[in-house]
Amino acid sequence: MPTVSDTYIENRQRVQPTHTNNYGSAHGGNVVKWMDEIGAMSAMRHAGESCVTARIEGLDFERPIPGGDTCVIESYAYAAGRTSVRVRLRAFREAPRTGEREQTTDSYFVFVAVDESGSPTEVPELRAETDRCRRLRNEALEKESDEE
């Protein structure tokens, strides 16, 4: 059975001029797209199946990501239902020359595992056996309950 740490993915996307809005920062739609793609990968690592986006909860854009900076997406599964996988996603702006980083976006996505015919299929239990796994899961659950 997979663990929370098994689903942890961090990915980077350089914010190019074609990714920006008329204010010179990453267009929110691009950030959501990048989050959705990486979140699905975390869900698939847990499920061992293809996963589709079912819901986006509490998407908060806290600050912009300037063009030329790097958008870092952090993603991991923190809970699973019968066919669903809940994934914590955060985006950060990172200065490419210094690595200076600050959080810009926070969200929770729910993905559903699907079989080859596109029907929902069961997912395994998600384990949190190490201190890191428990810390990541607890951070997500605490932040999720703060949003309610």
Residues 29-38 pLDDT 10s: 999 999 999 9
Instruction: List the domain range (segments joined by +) for residue 126.
Output: 5-147
Residues ≥6 apart with Cβ < 8 Å to 44:
50, 51
Buried b (16+ CB within 10 A) or exposed e, 15-27: beeebbeeeebbb
Count: domains in the chain: 1
pLDDT score of 68 more than 90: yes
Q: Are 3 and 125 in contact (CB under 8 A)?
A: no
Q: Which CATH number fits the domain that encloses residue 81?
A: 3.10.129.10
Buried b (16+ CB within 10 A) or exposed e, 123-145: beebbbeeeebeebbeebeeebe
Task: Please indicate, yes or no, whether the overall pTM of this predicted structure exceeds 0.75.
Answer: yes
Task: Give the pLDDT confidence score for residue 58 in this predicted structure.
Answer: 84
pLDDT score of 147 more than 90: no
